Amino acid sequence: MTALLSLSGLTKAYPGVIANDNVSFDIGPGEIHALLGENGAGKSTLVKMIYGLVRPDSGTMMLHGEPYAPPEPRAARASGVAMVFQHFSLFDALTVAENIALGMENAPDTVDLTQRIIEVSGKYGLTIDPFRMVGDLSAGERQRVEIVRCLLQNPKLLIMDEPTSVLTPQEVEVLFHTLRQLSSEGTSILYISHKLDEIKALCEHATILRHGKVVGTCVPKNETAKSMAEMMVGETLRTPKKHYTRHGAALLELHNLWLQSKDPFGTNLKEITFNLHEGEVMGVGGVAGNGQDELMLALSGEELTPAHAIQFKGEDIGNLGPNARRLRGLLTAPEERLGHAAAPDMTLSENAFLTGAMRQGLTRNGIIKAAATRNFARAIIEQFDVRTPGTENVAGSLSGGNLQKFVIGREILQRPEVFVVNQPTWGVDAAAAADIRSAILDLATNGAAVLVISQDLDELMEISDNIAILSEGTLSVPRPAQGITIEQIGLMMGGTEVENV
Partner 1 sequence: MFKLERRPTPSKAMVVLTPVLAVVLTMIAGGILFAILGKNPFEAIRIIFWDPLFNETVASYTRPQLLIKAAPLITIALGLSFGYRANIWNIGAEGQFIMGAVTGGAVGLAFYPTESVMIFPLMVLAGAMGGFFWAMIPAFLKIKFNANEILVSLMLVYVAINFLSAMVTGPLRSPVGMNFPVSRNFNEYPSAYNGELIANTGLHMGVLVTLAAIIVAYILLKHHIFGFQVRAAGQSPRAAKFSGVNPNITVAICLGISGGLAGMAGLFEVTGPAGKLSTNFPLGYGFTAIIVAFLGRLNPIGIMLAGLLMALTYIGGELAQFQLSVPAASVQVFQGMLLFFMLAVDILVNFRVRIAKKEVA
Q: Is 483 in the site for partner 1 (CB under 8 A)?
A: no
- Only one of the segments 25-33, 160-168, 184-192, 326-334 lies at the binding site for partner 1 (rule: CB under 8 A); that segment is 326-334
**What is the Cα–Cα distance from 337 to 10, expressed in whole angstroms?**
31
Q: Is 107 in the site for partner 1 (CB under 8 A)?
A: no
Q: Tell me which amino acid residue 262 is.
A: K
Q: Is 343 in the site for partner 1 (CB under 8 A)?
A: yes
CA–CA distances in Å: residue 458 to residues 77, 78, 293, 353: 35, 38, 21, 33
By CB under 8 A, the count of residues binding partner 1 is: 39
**What is the Cα–Cα distance from 269 to 176, expressed in whole angstroms?**
32
- Only one of the segments 23-31, 34-42, 391-399, 429-437 lies at the binding site for partner 1 (rule: CB under 8 A); that segment is 391-399
Residue in 361, 370, 446, 472 binding partner 1, rule: CB under 8 A: 370
Residue in 3, 54, 372, 394 binding partner 1, rule: CB under 8 A: 394
Q: What is the H or E stretch that residue 443 is in?
A: helix 430-445
Other beta carbons within 10 angstroms of residue 177's beta carbon come to: 13
- Binding track over 144-173 against partner 1, x by CB under 8 A: ------------------------------
Q: Which is nearer to partner 1, 44 or 164 (CB)?
A: 44
Q: Is 62 in the site for partner 1 (CB under 8 A)?
A: no
Q: Tell me which amino acid residue 86 is.
A: Q
Other beta carbons within 10 angstroms of residue 445's beta carbon come to: 16
- Binding track over 18-57 against partner 1, x by CB under 8 A: -------------------------------------x--
Q: Is 11 in the site for partner 1 (CB under 8 A)?
A: no
- Only one of the segments 32-40, 188-196, 217-225, 315-323 lies at the binding site for partner 1 (rule: CB under 8 A); that segment is 315-323
Characterize 19-41 residue by residue with b for buried, 16 or more Cβ atoms within 10 angstroms of its Cβ, and e for exposed.
Answer: bbbebebbbbbbbbbbbbbbbbb
Other beta carbons within 10 angstroms of residue 185's beta carbon come to: 9
- Binding track over 396-425 against partner 1, x by CB under 8 A: -x----------------------------
CA–CA distances in Å: residue 46 to residues 25, 158, 184: 11, 14, 25
Q: Is 390 in the site for partner 1 (CB under 8 A)?
A: no
- Binding track over 64-103 against partner 1, x by CB under 8 A: ---x-x-x--------------------------------
Q: Is 340 in the site for partner 1 (CB under 8 A)?
A: yes
- Only one of the segments 109-117, 221-229, 389-397, 436-444 lies at the binding site for partner 1 (rule: CB under 8 A); that segment is 389-397
- Which residues, 6+ apart, have CB-to-CB distance to 166 below 8 Å? 138, 139, 140, 143, 287, 288, 426, 455
The 3-state DSSP class for residue 372 equals helix
Q: Which is nearer to partner 1, 31 or 411 (CB)?
A: 411
**What is the Cα–Cα distance from 206 to 191, expressed in whole angstroms?**
9
Residue in 267, 300, 404, 425 binding partner 1, rule: CB under 8 A: 300
Residue in 51, 353, 406, 419 binding partner 1, rule: CB under 8 A: 353
Q: At what angle do helices 430-445 and 400-412 cross, to 10 degrees?
A: 10
- Least Cβ distance, residue 420 to partner 1 (angstroms): 12
Task: Convert 248-263 into a string of H (helix), E (strand) and C (coil).
Answer: CCEEEEEEEEEECCCC
- Least Cβ distance, residue 469 to partner 1 (angstroms): 25
CA–CA distances in Å: residue 466 to residues 55, 107, 319, 490: 49, 48, 27, 16
Residue in 339, 361, 390, 480 binding partner 1, rule: CB under 8 A: 339
Other beta carbons within 10 angstroms of residue 453's beta carbon come to: 25
- Least Cβ distance, residue 230 to partner 1 (angstroms): 31
**What is the Cα–Cα distance from 451 to 454, expressed in whole angstroms?**
10
**What is the Cα–Cα distance from 414 to 430, expressed in whole angstroms?**
25
Q: Is 194 in the site for partner 1 (CB under 8 A)?
A: no
Binding residues for partner 1, per CB under 8 A?
A: 14-16, 55, 67, 69, 71, 300-302, 321-323, 326, 332, 334, 336, 339-346, 350, 353-355, 357-358, 363, 366-368, 370, 393-394, 397
